[in-house]
Amino acid sequence: MQVRGLHKSFGDNEVLRGIDLEIGRGEVVCVIGPSGSGKSTLLRCVNLLEEPTKGQVFVGGTEVTDPDVDIDAVRRRIGMVFQQFNLFPHLSVTENLTLPQRRVLGRDKARAARVAADNLQRVGLAEKADAYPSSLSGGQQQRVAIARALAMGPEVMLFDEPTSALDPELVGDVLAVMRMLANEGMTMMVVTHEMTFAREVADRVVFMDDGVIVEAGPPAQVIANPAHERTRHFLSRLLDPAMADVEDDNGREGDKGLKGDKGL
């Protein structure tokens, strides 16, 4: 996957200001940065949920941003998992997985059910096939959402803060599924604040701020030994918020040791 010179504006607000990024087949890239830095907008531009203002996106050699591209065909190659689970509450878990397969891929009911069962097994939820979303925990619902995306046979998986809406004790199961996918060789772009996951699983970490990529490299470089002061400041606040500097209303730094994480 390649992103070249990507810009995105909402009115006068330029959210992405020239993003260049390449993700190789089977590579896992974690994108970190403060809220408002453009991370989620970048993901949404990759599968055209947001139309870029300028620039190009290529997936498997196909230019996603070509005006004549078959958007539906492109999106079938890109799985996306959101912060919220977006499951149909009136459908069972199996039906949530089979409906997109039948409508988008044209699979018959039997094949769609087999693919659904295989992917529920992959995420450890085979026993929940007939359950409804309301009976599942948030972590289980997110794993169903991952299985739903996998059932479409994507070449690339995009994750937009997939654990941010979960209670802390439920995060581990979702991250375990993502580790499994990484080990299987799935190409993944993950927007996350889970630094342990980024350290252990990512091939590269990309730090974004104010719509640009500030630095990128292996986790041992970007997380453990960042080159830029802005990255160091972000990580210090994220990893130890109790020691973060806080600013008063006039923008002056206050005492350390006060809890608060403005801008994350």
pLDDT tens-digit profile, the chain (264 residues): 999 999 999 999 999 999 999 999 999 999 999 999 999 999 999 989 999 999 999 998 889 999 998 888 888 889 999 988 899 999 999 999 999 999 999 999 999 999 999 999 999 999 999 999 999 999 999 999 999 999 999 999 999 999 988 988 889 999 999 999 999 999 999 999 999 999 999 999 999 999 999 999 999 999 999 999 999 999 988 877 665 555 433 433 333 333 333 333
0.75 cut: is pTM over it? yes
| Confidence (pLDDT) at 237 | 85
Owner of token pair 């994507």: 154
- Are 46 and 78 within 8 A, CB to CB? yes
pLDDT at 243 (0 to 100): 52
Token pair for residue 200?
């252990």
E-assigned strand segments in the chain: 2-10, 13-22, 28-32, 54-59, 62-63, 78-81, 156-160, 187-191, 204-209, 212-217
What local confidence, expressed as pLDDT, does residue 74 receive? 84
pLDDT of amino acid 192: 94
User: Which of 164, 182, 163 lies closest to 172, judged by CA?
Assistant: 163
pLDDT for residue 245:
53
The CB density around residue 30, as the number of other CB atoms within 10 Å, is: 26
Tracing tokens 């607000």 back to the chain, one arrives at 13
